[in-house]
Amino acid sequence: MAPSRKYSAELRERAVRTVFELREQTGEKTGTIARVAERLGVDREASRTWARQAEVDGGGSTPVTYFGPRLSIGWTH
């Protein structure tokens, strides 16, 4: 059984998209996650995690807003 999620995928996607849009509009990175989290009523750390993961998944500042299951990659020597 999958664990329940506190926030919907749609809300996570909206938060990530809004963070990146606000950063682009203002040219500031500092404080954008906190402002978006407060505006949307979500936890700051959750928003920070989503935004950072989108940066990693997107290879930079382009947001990727897919929050589906992750694949496990096994490393061999």
Q: Say what the pLDDT of residue 31 is.
A: 92
67 inside domain: no
> The CATH number of the domain where 13 resides is what?
1.10.10.10
21 inside domain: yes
User: Which tokens belong to 53?
Assistant: 């993961």
Amino acid 11 reads L
Number of structural domains (the chain) is 1
Q: For residues 39 and 64, give the distance between their C-alpha atoms in angstroms, rounded to a whole number.
A: 21
22 inside domain: yes
31 inside domain: yes
74 inside domain: no
**47 backbone dihedrals φ, ψ, rounded to 5°:** -60, -40
Tens of pLDDT along the chain (77 residues) come to: 555 578 999 999 999 999 999 999 989 889 999 999 999 999 999 999 999 999 888 755 544 455 555 544 454 44
User: Which tokens belong to 15?
Assistant: 């938060």
Q: Identify the domain containing residue 46 by its residue range.
A: 9-58
